Amino acid sequence: MKVAVIGGGAVGVTAAYDLVCRDAEVVLYEKSEIGSASTGRAAGVLYDAFAAPEDARVGDRALERFREFSGEGDFEFRETPYVWFAREGDEKRAEAVREQVERMREQDRDVSLADPDDLRGRFPAVNWRDVAVAAVAENAGHADTGSYADLVAEKAREVGAEIRTGVEAELEVEAEVESEVDGLGLRGVDAAQSESSDAEPFDAVLVAAGAHTKRVLARAGVSVPLKPYRVQALTAGFAENRREDLPMVYDATGGYYLRPHPEGLLAGDGTEEVESDPDDWKRAADREFREITRERLGHRLGEFGATRESWAGLCVATPDRDPLLGEVRDRLYVAAGWQGHGFMRSPALGEAAAEAVLGENPLPTFAPTRFDGDEVFEISEGMAVE
């Protein structure tokens, strides 16, 4: 079976690796470099604290595989608890946190409620004084996102995948492709020289192109309800002797997160609830975002160092905040719409995408056929506690 994978992010390279490991012939197309788009700009926050059964199963499998890969190449999974909370006066989110923990425990997640005194004793680097209700997920950690994509891409090459970087893949409609596989093909366009190759036939095509997925599929006449939206993050200095007392944190009331980083800490927020053009969007972080984030870090952590880097990235929303993963047309598959949780679950989602291409249906709840493709919906933050 010959399969094309469009997209060299974390999900795409994982799918390519798993497909080759199951005896498929794979060609992966990436218009830029491996992990250079949304994967390279992701937060690297990893946990299995999900309440829905399928989400919990995916999260559990993702962390299992992150740990298996840890220590290979430059990739390392760093065990770190994840704490999320609602502040005093925010009863709506406080009640949502309580309900989440109850539902997560029904899925055997290692999570529990914690009061400010518990948190102060365990994580003294953080100011917990304004916390009303908090929860701690123990099965959690963080990682450098680019090193994961590089590692798995190299593993895919080693087992036989062909990876074509700097080549944009264009789906060919059936009438334009003459082949024994009934017209499912791709034309590769060299990104540097704008030179097109002849259409190449494939038995199946998996589109895992992140923010570009909707446009790639549209060329084949397939409509999917996906909306890219912009998010922002920064890194800053933080004393090494305090870093060991720093968990990953999500302030549900304020809508921002922070985590340890090898050079200090990483923090993010800035979700723009408007659709972004995947080819024309601001990649630098906004000044307002940097200023607000530093104020938040000052309140939550006290002293910390200068901002080192700041940037923006793209996430992709769906109408129900669940991804699209599966067959959208005969032998044409999609894996997209992660709502900010793509890298976090990429080892499991890539594996599931590979299984779908090979005729299995590992995650029926995420089947793209649940939508018509022309749904009207609003973008909402993927991490939001409601």
- Looking at residue 173, its pLDDT comes to 59
Burial 298-330 (b: 16+ CB within 10 A, else e): eebbeebeebeebebbbbbbbeebbbbbbbbee
Which residue's entry shows tokens 């994840």? Answer: 82
- Looking at residue 382, its pLDDT comes to 77
Distances from the Cα of 273 to the Cαs of 132, 164, 228, in angstroms? Answer: 27, 34, 10
Kindly tell me the burial class for residue 157, based on how many C-beta atoms sit within 10 Å of its own C-beta (0-12, 13-18, 19 or more). Answer: middle
Do the bridges between strand 204-207 and strand 2-6 make them parallel or antiparallel, or are there none, so unpaired?
parallel
* Tens-digit pLDDT profile for residues 6-19: 999 999 999 999 99
Which domains, from first to last, does the chain contain?
2-44+145-225+319-370 (3.50.50.60), 80-138+227-317 (3.30.9.10)
Kindly tell me the burial class for residue 373, based on how many C-beta atoms sit within 10 Å of its own C-beta (0-12, 13-18, 19 or more). Answer: middle
* Gap between the Cα atoms of 287 and 50, Å rounded: 33
Amino acid at 122: R
- Looking at residue 356, its pLDDT comes to 98
Task: Provide the residue count of the chain.
Answer: 386
Average pLDDT by stretches of 10, the chain with 386 residues = 97 98 98 96 97 96 98 98 98 97 98 96 97 98 98 98 95 53 71 75 96 95 96 97 95 96 92 93 96 97 97 97 96 96 97 97 94 94 78
**Which pTM was predicted?**
0.95
* Gap between the Cα atoms of 311 and 292, Å rounded: 14
